[in-house]
A and B are shown apart, each in its own frame.
Chain A
Amino acid sequence: MEIGDPVRRRIVIPLKEPITKPIEEPSPAPAAPTRRPAKEPEKV
């Protein structure tokens, strides 16, 4: 796509937030599994 030479830099702030999340936004890392306390061996 031929768009010519740059003429100006603009910072455009939308009036409202986009409806959906940006696609490249990383999904939150899964929470680390909580470690259950080791079960005490049953006394026999």
Chain B
Amino acid sequence: MNPEARQGSDSSNPSAGLASVLSTGIEVGEITAWRIWRLGKDGMVYSPIVNMPWFRGEVMRALPHLGAEDGIYASKTRPEMKWPPSPRASWPLVVGRVLLWGIVIEHENGYRAENARIIGFDDIVSWSTFDADAALALLCARYFRNT
């Protein structure tokens, strides 16, 4: 049985109430949104919280559920860099855009999506002496150059 089909009749499920309140819309296309990644020493970008690498051209997947905190996070507007993000953070952060599709839980300021793919990197912010422009050029070449 589809787990979401159970939500309406399962009063013990915390997402059941949300499911009845939130409307579900079906649309064709993709959502463009913003994200932040951590730039790894290997030249890959990583999710800053779960340390998951994002590979060139590949689709990241994580099914979001109502009443939970899962899914692939992205924001509706370009994130403002609150620097440093934590007192111990020393790694460069990358700001970029993703396409989202599939099941998407829209929040006030962002999304939790089922599928995401990188479409562009826009900025690198570093705490240390770091040629961010050169690094951004290398990163874009690595992820988007046709080979």
Binding site for B on A (CB under 8 A): 1-15, 18-24
Contacts and interface: CB of A to CB of B under 8 A. Distances in A.
Interface in B5-30: 18-19, 22-30
Given A2-B109, A4-B107, A6-B106, A12 B101 contact: yes
A4 B30 CA distance: 21
Contact of A9 (B73, B106, B110): B106
Interface in B41-77: 55, 57-61, 66, 73-75
B84 interface: no
A3 B115 contact: no
B117 A10 contact: no
Nearest to A1: B73
B147 to A, nearest CB: 14
Interface of B: 18-19, 22-31, 35-36, 55, 57-61, 66, 73-75, 79, 99-112, 115, 117
A18 B115 CA distance: 10
Nearest to A19: B57
Contacts of B79: 1
A4 to B, nearest CB: 3
B103 A3 contact: no
Nearest to A8: B106
A15 B99 CA distance: 12
Contacts of B108: 3-5, 7
A8 B23 CA distance: 6
A43 B95 CA distance: 75
Given A12-B31, A18-B115, A6 B24 contact: no
Contacts of B66: 6, 9
A36 to B, nearest CB: 39
8 contacts: A6-B18, A7-B106, A8-B25, A9-B103, A9-B106, A12-B104, A13-B29, A15-B29
